Amino acid sequence: MDKMIIRGGAPLRGTVELSGSKNAALPCLIAALLTEEPLLIHNVPRLRDVRTSIDLLGRLGVVSRWTGDHDLELHARAITSHEAPYDLVKTMRASFLVLGPLLARTGRARVSTPGGCAIGARPVNLHIAGIRMLGARIQMRHGYVEAHAVNLRGARVWLDTSSVGATENIMMAAVRARGRTLIENAAREPEVQDLARLLKAMGARISGAGSHVIEIEGVERLGGAEHTVIPDRIEAGSLMIAAAVTGGDVVVRGAPLEHLEAVIAKLRETGATVEPVEGGLRVARGAALRPVELRTLPYPGFPTDLQAQMMALLTQAAGTSVITETIFENRFMHALELMRMGADIVMKGPTAVVRGPTALCGAPVMATDLRASMGLILAGLAAENSTELSRVYHLDRGYEALDAKLRALGAAVERVPGEEAA
Ligand code: UD1
């Protein structure tokens, strides 16, 4: 298992280019199951979760081929298996998204349930309830969801929680169902909107993506399409926070301003300068950072996927910050590692109180999930001495060439082979 060695202290400067969004790309790849014709997807990030998706889709009969650095062709001429096995679903929960499109295309699917993960229980009950509403018969057996449907039919589906994954799964089932589906309390995330754009290019009839009610009129067949994945707003936010935590000055090229409003507002509240420039956003920080209060919320609120990174930043703010995590119940694992680096953090339930500024001191730390790893890297960039981050495979799931991007901005970050087992 590789490790990342981070020597802190250098303010990041320069320009960095964003990759395509991981969370938008994964469902777009999976949408290939819905048609016998090829999809050509551009701006696909080269990361581990994308490789896992290609692997899973390959087992189901989808032939994938890179036609350029970030251009992927996927062709599901025939579906050869209906099963998403546990070994893949447990490494990447987004695999569960094959349920809806497999059912819509072939009338059956057998998909492992994902189980818990480092940030909480993360159930799939809303995916299942929604797809049941569309007329599928679903049984849970031996850790698998077994679903059958002769014909899916449109229905009114109310989501108790505006789940991103459930919205995407139900949308991919409903596009080929008979009649009209309404998904109410749908997730509004830009990644849901991106999937809807692709499905529409394939011939689906969808309106309202980006609002709380998505309306889908089922069609008999979908065709091939070409689609460009949106830039990664979470990578953008992570790099913007990297500029702020090091007191640097960075232009994040391709940063989707319209998807980052809550993040920009919070960064400005800390005293960082964020300004739109030609082709992206410039983030700089000269003066001392101010503390803030922050709640993670569904989009367009502040994203939970940037909570760990913000916590690292707020250890450097002069005063008391309060972070409340409202999306996942167990998403403060990074706080314990930050405390080992000298941070002053007190946690109570979903709230963390961060007192700063504290001088962070490099330490061996261990990542528990993808975004937590990024938070620890940011702390390492602001710390004295070296920080050694193990379990870098979490990072590889969701950030493309992160160490190279940080090095190009002047950070002393190095990847070394480690010996520890997963
Ligand atoms: C997606 C993102 C993830 C992000 C999360 C929240 C992908 C691949 N991942 O994950 O990076 O952190 O959105 O923005 O896009 N819930 C249920 N029952 C369900 C489904 C969800 O109770 O059937 C709950 C979850 O436990 C959680 C909340 O709904 O508390 C939101 O989760 P959800 O939006 O589904 O997250 P994911 O789609 O898994």
The pLDDT, as a whole number, for residue 119 is 64
- Residue minimizing CA distance to atom 2 of ligand 1: 23
**Is residue 120 scored above 70 in pLDDT?**
no
Which of 204, 273, 201, 283 has its CA nearest to residue 242?
283
> What whole-number distance in Å separates Cα of residue 81 and Cα of residue 229?
27
pLDDT tens, residue by residue, 291-323? 999 999 999 999 999 999 999 999 999 999 999
Amino acid found at 135: G
- Residue minimizing CA distance to atom 9 of ligand 1: 23
Give the residues across from 184 on adjacent strands: 158, 213
Which of 111, 82, 81 has its CA nearest to residue 96?
111
Query: Catalytic residue among 117, 129, 284, 401, which?
Result: 117
**Is residue 12 scored above 50 in pLDDT?**
yes
Rounded to the nearest angstrom, the distance between the alpha carbon of 29 and the centre of ligand 1 is: 18
The pLDDT, as a whole number, for residue 50 is 97
**Is residue 92 scored above 50 in pLDDT?**
yes
**Is residue 209 scored above 80 in pLDDT?**
yes
The pLDDT, as a whole number, for residue 257 is 94
The pLDDT, as a whole number, for residue 121 is 63
**Is residue 127 scored above 50 in pLDDT?**
yes
The pLDDT, as a whole number, for residue 258 is 95
Q: What is the mean pLDDT of the chain?
A: 95
- Residue minimizing CA distance to atom 31 of ligand 1: 163
Return the ligand 1 atom nearest residue 298 CA.
Answer: 14
The pLDDT, as a whole number, for residue 116 is 58
pLDDT tens, residue by residue, 13-55? 999 999 999 999 999 999 999 999 999 999 999 999 999 999 9
**Is residue 290 scored above 80 in pLDDT?**
yes
DSSP letter for 1, please: -
Rounded to the nearest angstrom, the distance between the alpha carbon of 113 and the centre of ligand 1 is: 14
- Residue minimizing CA distance to atom 25 of ligand 1: 122
CA torsion angle 173 174 175 179 (round to 10): 150
Please report which confidence band the pLDDT of residue 1 belongs to, taking 50, 70 and 90 as the band edges. confident
Q: What is the SS3 assignment for 222-276?
A: CCCEEEECCECHHHHHHHHHHHHHCCCEEEEECCCHHHCHHHHHHHHHCCCEEEE
Please report which confidence band the pLDDT of residue 329 belongs to, taking 50, 70 and 90 as the band edges. confident
Rounded to the nearest angstrom, the distance between the alpha carbon of 192 and the centre of ligand 1 is: 12
- Residue minimizing CA distance to atom 1 of ligand 1: 164
Query: Is 2-19+231-417 in CATH node 3.65.10.10?
Result: yes
Output the six-digit token pair for 331. 């998403």
Q: Using an 8 Å Cβ cutoff, are 301 and 262 in contact?
A: yes
> What whole-number distance in Å separates Cα of residue 372 and Cα of residue 311?
10
Dihedrals phi, psi of 126, to nearest 5 degrees: -70, -35
Please report which confidence band the pLDDT of residue 115 belongs to, taking 50, 70 and 90 as the band edges. low
How many CA atoms within 13 Å lie on the side-chain side of 283? 32
Output the six-digit token pair for 204. 């689906």
Amino acid found at 61: G
Which positions ≥6 away from 392 have C-beta within 8 Å? Answer: 1, 2, 3, 4, 367, 373, 415, 418
Give the residues across from 39 on adjacent strands: 74, 225
Q: What is the mean pLDDT of residues 356-366?
A: 95
Q: Is 166 in the pocket of ligand 1 (CB under 6 A)?
A: yes
Give the residues across from 281 on adjacent strands: 252, 276
pLDDT tens, residue by residue, 337-347? 999 999 999 99
Q: Is 161 in the pocket of ligand 1 (CB under 6 A)?
A: yes
Q: Is 44 in the pocket of ligand 1 (CB under 6 A)?
A: no
The pLDDT, as a whole number, for residue 422 is 43
How many CA atoms within 13 Å lie on the side-chain side of 405? 21
Q: What is the mean pLDDT of residues 214-234?
A: 98
Contacts of range 380-383, beta carbons closer than 8 Å, 24 or more positions apart = 380/6, 380/8, 380/341, 381/6, 381/8, 381/10, 381/12, 381/242, 381/245, 381/246, 381/406, 381/411, 381/413, 382/8, 382/245, 382/246, 382/312, 382/315, 382/316, 383/6, 383/8, 383/9, 383/341, 383/342
Give the residues across from 42 on adjacent strands: 228
The share of the chain scoring above pLDDT 70, in percent, equals 97
Return the ligand 1 atom nearest residue 189 CA.
Answer: 14
Q: Using an 8 Å Cβ cutoff, are 27 and 172 in contact?
A: yes
Q: Is 328 in the pocket of ligand 1 (CB under 6 A)?
A: yes
Active site residue 28: no
Output the six-digit token pair for 134. 């569309």
Q: Is 23 in the pocket of ligand 1 (CB under 6 A)?
A: yes
- Residue minimizing CA distance to atom 22 of ligand 1: 123
Which of 36, 32, 2 has its CA nearest to residue 394?
2
Decide whether 2-19+231-417 matches 22-228 in CATH topology. Answer: yes
Return the ligand 1 atom nearest residue 121 CA.
Answer: 26
Rounded to the nearest angstrom, the distance between the alpha carbon of 122 and the centre of ligand 1 is: 7
Which of 375, 414, 374, 401 has its CA nearest to residue 48?
401
Output the six-digit token pair for 245. 């935590």
Q: Is 357 in the pocket of ligand 1 (CB under 6 A)?
A: no
Return the ligand 1 atom nearest residue 125 CA.
Answer: 23
> What whole-number distance in Å separates Cα of residue 95 and Cα of residue 27?
9
Q: Is 125 in the pocket of ligand 1 (CB under 6 A)?
A: yes
> What whole-number distance in Å separates Cα of residue 414 and Cα of residue 346?
31
Rounded to the nearest angstrom, the distance between the alpha carbon of 161 and the centre of ligand 1 is: 9
- Residue minimizing CA distance to atom 21 of ligand 1: 163
The pLDDT, as a whole number, for residue 330 is 82
Q: What is the mean pLDDT of residues 128-134?
A: 97
Rounded to the nearest angstrom, the distance between the alpha carbon of 201 and the centre of ligand 1 is: 26
> What whole-number distance in Å separates Cα of residue 340 and Cα of residue 348?
18
**Is residue 166 scored above 90 in pLDDT?**
yes
Return the ligand 1 atom nearest residue 234 CA.
Answer: 11
The share of the chain scoring above pLDDT 90, in percent, equals 91
Q: Is 163 in the pocket of ligand 1 (CB under 6 A)?
A: yes
Which of 204, 183, 81 has its CA nearest to residue 133?
183
Which of 194, 187, 275 has its CA nearest to residue 232?
194
CA torsion angle 358 364 366 371 (round to 10): 50
Query: Is 22-228 in CATH node 2.40.360.20?
Result: no
Q: Is 165 in the pocket of ligand 1 (CB under 6 A)?
A: yes
Domain ranges of the chain: 2-19+231-417, 22-228
**Is residue 249 scored above 60 in pLDDT?**
yes
